[in-house]
Structure 1
């Protein structure tokens, strides 16, 4: 597995450092928009550069982000999110109350931002999208009947496909290149209450 496809599971310190809605957003923006300064991030999130600088330092202290080598000055530092995947553990009963609360903040904000970006894409008028990009996006939901073993097999196939795409396209540049979001979800649905009223029970 290469650096691009390695997975880092956040420890309790990193999880707590990330457990702030603005820090999750900054972390997400560095992934989706590429390297930024505290000033450029401030413009994107509607905060002061002093505020974003403080949160950037907190994220960097736990190696969640890092300075871009050879770019910027002492007064204007550039920050980036390291390559590789981040495993953000959800709230777990085995966690301490503090870690569980931190995990809940991180996962809730992460998926809120994810849904927000999807809705922004779905509601964007065609006039805001270059013509060659208007028919390439895909949003698809289907429901299947599968065993846990079959889901795991499909999951591994999807992960292999995504890893292949990462190897092929990571760091690509050019006039026709745009940043895209690649999403994959697969999970079991809770069973509905299958109990039916008998005629004797009434409605």
Structure 2
């Protein structure tokens, strides 16, 4: 029996990956997922792009089902967009697809995710003095080096994800709540 899929998380396939694997499209989708509905003009200002570029790439994201209209927000001709899903699930098989275009898109997608995560951390480091002291006492940037089998690495990853899931809605009604970003990385390294 297979594990039930979360309807709020979209599984990437070869076709959808080709529609998403562009740095600006990935930034637009992240901005909508984490910042809520917005117009092409608002996103252009936020990301330092032209509204023509953001409008074009939003239409491409819509064509691949990543974003949808948010008509409850629009007035007149103003078009608001929102993310269609809360998360994405990447299938490692895309890295070994028979189509070199798919493999290239998969590689580009993963590198853009890594770049975005580094940018998130760098932004925090550059702005942490602007945050209240209680946030400056609890942030984390740690690393650990373990000796694991592939099976143990998979188990650890699943347990970390399960632990994060237990915190999803725990502080929903607290006035001091803010969004936090959690990045996990687990990968083998060469040793001497």
Higher RCO, Cα 8 Å, sep 6+? 1
TM-score, with structure 1 as normaliser:
0.80
Instruction: Please report how far the alpha carbon of residue 141 of structure 1 lies from its aligned counterpart in structure 2 after TM superposition.
Output: 0.3
Alignment match of 2:102 (pick from 99, 104, 128): 99
Match of 1:188 in 2: 188
Distance 1:67 1:175, change over 3 A: farther
**What are the equivalent positions in structure 2 for 1:119-138 lying under 5 Å apart?**
119-126=122-129, 128-138=130-140
- Structure 2 unaligned regions, length at least 5: none
Match of 1:201 in 2: none
**What are the equivalent positions in structure 2 for 1:90-169 lying under 5 Å apart?**
92-126=95-129, 128-168=130-170
Measured on the aligned residues, the alpha-carbon RMSD in Å equals 2.4
Match of 1:198 in 2: none
Cα distance in 1 between the residues matched to 2:6 and 2:96: 31
* 1:106-129 CA-partner distances (Å, limit 9, x unpaired): 222221111111112123251x11
User: Is 2:70 the counterpart of 1:68?
Assistant: yes
Task: Please give the secondary structure, in 1, of the residue aligned with 2:96.
Answer: coil
- The answer to whether the 8 Å contact 1:18/1:59 transfers is yes
Cα distance in 2 between the residues matched to 1:168 and 1:68: 27
Cα distance in 2 between the residues matched to 1:156 and 1:48: 40
How many residues end up aligned between the 2 structures? 188
Instruction: Please report how far the alpha carbon of residue 74 of structure 1 lies from its aligned counterpart in structure 2 after TM superposition.
Output: 4.3
Cα distance in 2 between the residues matched to 1:52 and 1:154: 38
Instruction: Judge which range, 66-75 or 133-142, deviates more.
Output: 66-75
- Structure 1 unaligned regions, length at least 5: 195-203
